[in-house]
Amino acid sequence: MSNQKKSALLIIDVQVGIARGKDAYAGWPAILANIVSLIARARSSDLPVIFIQHDGAPGHRLEPGTDGWALCPELGVQRVDRVIRKTASDAFFDTSLESTLRERGITHLIVAGCMTEYCVDTTVRRAVSLGFDVTLAADAHGT
């Protein structure tokens, strides 16, 4: 039996309302370019790409169905990708993320996205507590 890890790329909350919202910061274009590059490398290596999309409350910048809620078009989401919606900082909380990963035999997550000190941090910590190996792409997450 092989000890090789089966990996997936997890992109957290890279949505228009964050990337282009009033709180966007000067370093964001480079981070977004790095995320897009990671997606291309994952696709060329046949790694699954999973997008996490935050559903905000009514009036929130990430309210479902609004322009801000949309995943950034630069990401190039494809039909084969999985999009999992969430309502909390923890992408595992009340979502199908864990079952999706386990069904696919994924044991290693490569993580990128928004926002470092909220959803990225919380999701990474939860993933580790659930037994997943995690690689946080140092230049592909931000706030």
**Which of 65, 76, 62 minimizes the C-alpha distance to 21?**
62
Residue indicated by tokens 């935050």: 54
pLDDT given at position 4: 60
Residue 119 annotated among the catalytic residues of the structure: yes
Residue 22's pLDDT is: 58
Give me the pLDDT at residue 2, please: 42
Catalytic site residue from 11, 35, 106, 119: 119
Q: How far apart are CA 56 and CA 62, in angstroms?
A: 5
For the chain of 143 residues, list the mean pLDDT of each consecutive stretch of 10: 76 91 74 96 97 96 96 96 97 98 98 88 97 94 81
